[in-house]
Each structure stands twice: as structure tokens, then as C-alpha cells.
Amino acid sequence: MGMYLNIGNAGFQSVRKGFYVDKSGLISFMNGTLGTKDKLTCVSRPRRFGKSFATQMLCAYYDKSCDSRNLFCDLKIAGDPAFEEFLNQYDVIYLDITWFISIEKDVRNTVAYLQEQVIKELSVVYPPVKKEDSLPVMLAKVAEMTGHRFIIIIDEWDALFREVQSDIDLQKEYLQLLRGLFKSSLTDKMIEAAYMTGILPIKKYGTQSALTDFREYTMLRPKKLAEYVGFTEAEVKKLCRQYNMDFEETQRWYDGYSFSRAKSIYSPNSVVQAIKNEEFGDYWTETETYESLKFYISLNEDGLKDAVISMLGGERCRINTRTFQNDMSNIKSKDDVLTLLVHLGYLAYDSDRNEVYIPNQEVADEFKSAVEYSGWQGVSTALRKSEELLDATLQENAQEVADRIDEIHLANTSVLAYNNENALSCVITIAYYVAQKDYIMIREMPSGKGFADIAFLPRKHVDKPAMLIELKWDKSAQGAISQIREKNYAGVLDEYRGNLLLVGVNYNKKDKKHECIIERYTSQKPPKEIFGRI
């Protein structure tokens, strides 16, 4: 076993000894690509989404220098008819690009050092082959003399593009190496398959990928690999039952990534940490400070600030992802920033509607921290006053609620266009931001004969009243309350066990003031617990 050639299965052994969710179905996918024109696979995921675990699993399965049968015999892959055929049958070259960056004193020598070290190990295993100056030529000669083809696994393939953003010459040298390996006339003779992981997709020049033969699976379009982006809902439900964790809270904190083939994907590291610590919290985001997020949202390209604020308010933002060049230094528009944030995991992407949104509570907290320290004083004021506004609402102090909303609106007039009920809805949602810790917030909740603008339903074990909020623009707060009653918006909550507040809010364009009316609603029907099905 070597450091780069046939590294063995020690990495996957340690994974199996710890907390492991069976993702070995990925091996079946890879087996189907071996030796085909689809043999080059690039998977991009945010940090802490299990990329390295996957590479360690693939190394353990394919590496012919070890016997990994016992590591896989109880996993899904063991039931695949091709399990035995490909198990421990290949020379595997494993390259962790962050490792080479960290150990080479001069980062400009990273690519040369990488090739030198792998060639040195190849020359020991295949001594009849003369050493060459480049890794592609060395592999081609080994393949020619022995007939052996290699599986190449590259972890953090894009690290040079992320950590040495200004060194264009180094990046070009690196891409030249990758082209020599994967985009040459000899690729089919020397490469059985390749699996690359990173945060960013393969860099584009104009509209073309630098490595066009790779099949890419990204946070925008993971396609058939969607279930391997993170934990599926079925996997999380099983974990919650096994470890006695509250599924609804797990869902609130860590769900939110959704794809056509997997509608609910959870942040895997965060779920694992919550189970280990027996406590919900910001585990994924604590691995990196809010500084990186703060930097990108502070660029404020083309109204980026407005988009971020509206998403904090629970809305979605339509974007064009095609202009992004898949690097962090070539940011030219709001769409580029938002697309980058999807790849970094800060936003989720709805490919059917071409919209982005903040996926869950954990990430929302990170946005809140970034906004509070970014100089966006109006929004920061709203977030800080959110708890006071909620307390005033629960105390049914309508005048204080109106006054607080006035303050929050005034502080944000330079950020948000305040000209219709949608803008009012966004401000109200931000104003009640803190409520989302104790409530499930539903915008335009179907109720009775229409839609309540915003509904706040208390979470399990929260002893607070539900709230239905109706918004009016240049009409009256009493009219909002009347609409709730006339259209029976509260009807859907007739079986709710607990108090219900009806909140009507109106904005008067003439005096630029808000008015509020709060009333208690009492149902005549017997109460039942229904939140499990809402």
C-alpha cells in the first residue's frame, strides 16, 4: 500500500466504526460506468456533505491491495450481482488536492510535486517502466506494458481554484494535467474510471467546460445521484426513531434541499452531530464563520441585498444559473453570487422554477449573523426587535405592534420597495423572524374560502397561541379582521387545541403608518390535536 497508489481501506474502516448511513448504492452506479464513455464522474457538494466519506468508500471497494469484503457484506452493495466481480480488482490512485497544497512549501509547485510523488510510487510497483516527467505519460506507458487500467479518485479537486484564486498560471497548469489524464487519445487505454469531488463544478471558459468528457452531478442538477447529496427523509426518520430524536425539529433545522429525484435532502453532518450531542444547533455552519457568506452578500450586485432580505422573509428569488463560470473570482452579477451560494450550500435551488431559497433554520441563522454584521442596519434593527414584536403580539398589545412595525418599516425604506402587499408581507415576515423558533410559518395558508396571508402554528410542546395574520394595503386593519372571519380563515384550525389570535395589519400610504387589531378566536367545535398532519 502507498500514500497515493492503492492506499488500502483504513479510511473506510474508520468510517464504519463510527456513525454510518449506508450510501454504498453509489458503488453500483460507478460499476455501471467502468470502461464506458461515461466513466468520468464529477460530483460537487458543499463542505461537510460527505464527499470524503464517498471517496474513502470507493477506494476501499476497488483497491486491489486489500480485502474489503467484510466492510461491505452487510451493506446494500452486497446485494448487487456485480459486487464480487469488481471488488478489490483495480489499481486505485487517490489524490487529495488539499493535502498537496498543505504540505508543499511553495503552493506554485503543487502540481509538479503531485506528479513527482505519484510517479515515484508507480515506479516502485512497476519497475520495468522508466520514470517520466508527467503523470499522464507514465500511466500511459504502464497501461501499454501491462494492460492495466487505473481508477483515479480525486478529493477536493477544485481546491486550487478556491484557495489560490489569483494564480491563473497555476490553475492552467493544473487543468493541463487533468486534460492529459482525462481528455487525451490515451484516456481510454489507461483509465477505467474517474471520480472527482469538490465544492465547485468544473470550471467553464465562456459556455464550455474545461473538461467536457466528465459527467457532472451538482447542487443545481444532481440527477440520478440526488439521494447521495445528503441524508434522505427516509434515512433521517429511521435515525430519529433509532436515537429517539424529534423528527419535526430535525426537519426544521436540517431539511430543505430538494431535487426532482429526492424531494427532501438533509445536511448529513448536522444530523449526525445533533444525534451525537443530543441537541439541535448550528453544526454545519460552525465549521466556517459567517465571514465568507458576509463577503459575497455584501457585494450587492444588481440588487442582491433586496434578494437576500426577501429570502430571509421566506420568499424565493428567480435566478439564471448559466452565467456562473464555476469559480469564486469571476463574479459579475447577482445571479453569479446566488448560484455560488447554492454550490456552497447556503441556498437551495428549485430547478423546475429556477428559484433559490434559504433551506432551513441552520442556514437562516447563518444569514442572520452575516446580515447583522454587514452594515445592513435596517434589517439588523428588524431582526433585533423581532422578539419585542412577538411579545407585544402575544400580549395582544395592538398599538405597540403597530409602532414596532412602523420602526422596522422606516429602518428598511432604503432597502425594500414598499409599494404593495407583497412588500408589506416581506417586512412582516422579517419582523416576526424570531417566531420561527417556536412556530411553523406558512405563507398564504389555505383556509376556509381563501388564503390567510401568514399563519404561525406553534410547534410541538410550545405553549403559545397560533396566529393568523391578514395584511391590507391602504385599507383598514378592521377590514383585515373581518376578512379572516367572513372567509372562515380560522376554519382549518377549528380542531386546534389552544388559543388562536387573529391579527389584522394595514398600512396607510397617506400618513405612512401601520395600524393593527388583535382579537382572540374561540371555536365552538371540540379541540383535537392536528398539527401532525398540517
Three-state SS for 23-34 is: CCHHHHHHHCCC
What would the grid cell of residue 83 be? 459486487
CB neighbour list of residue 339: distance below 8 Å, 6 or more residues apart: 220, 319, 321, 323, 324
Top pLDDT among 524 and 140 is at 140
Residue 84's H or E segment, with its range, is helix 83-86
- pLDDT, residue 66, reads 96
**Rounded mean pLDDT, 245-265:** 93
Most confident of 231-245, 288-302, 432-446: 231-245
- Write down all domains in the chain, each with its CATH number in brackets: 10-217 (3.40.50), 228-286 (no CATH), 289-372 (no CATH), 378-533 (3.40.1350)
For residue 452, what are the β-bridge partners? 445
Looking at residue 365, what is its pLDDT? 86
Query: Is residue 137 predicted with pLDDT exceeding 70?
Result: yes
Give the whole-number percent of the chain exceeding pLDDT 70.
89
Report how far Cα 187 is from the mean position of its chain's Cα atoms: 33
Tell me which of 460 and 360 has the higher pLDDT. 360
Residue 174 gets which letter from DSSP?
H
156 pLDDT more than 60: yes
Task: Note whether 384 and 390 are within 8 A (CB).
Answer: no
Kindly compute the dihedral angle of the four CA atoms of residues 162, 165, 170, 176, in this order, to the nearest 10 degrees: 60
C-alpha cell at 348: 437551495
Nearest by Cα to 348 from 317, 326, 376: 317
- pLDDT for position 450: 46
Point out the least confidently predicted range of 99-108, 298-307, 320-329, 429-438.
Answer: 298-307
Is residue 198 predicted with pLDDT exceeding 50?
Answer: yes
pLDDT for 170: 93
The pLDDT of residue 497: 66
How far apart (Å, rounded) are the C-alpha atoms in residues 498 and 465?
A: 6
Q: 190: Cβ–Cβ under 8 A, 6 or more apart, which residues? A: 136, 139, 140, 142, 143, 149, 150
Percent residues over pLDDT 90 in the chain: 56
- Which residue, 471, 394, 406, is CA-closest to 435? 394
Tell me the three-class secondary structure of 219-283, residue by residue: CCCCHHHHHHCCEEHHHHHHHHHHHCCCHHHHHHHHCCEEECCEEEEECHHHHHHHHHHCCCCCC
pLDDT of residue 523: 56
* pLDDT for position 414: 56
Count of beta carbons in the 10 Å neighbourhood of residue 133: 10
The residue with greater pLDDT, 418 or 142, is 142
Going by C-alpha positions, the residue among 342, 343, 336 that lies closest to residue 356 is: 342
pLDDT greater than 60 at residue 206: no
Assess whether pLDDT exceeds 60 at residue 291: yes
Q: Cβ neighbours of residue 278 under 8 Å, at least 6 residues apart?
A: 245
Instruction: Report the distance separating Cα 87 and Cα 24, nearest Å.
Output: 13
Give CA 339 to chain center in angstroms. Answer: 12
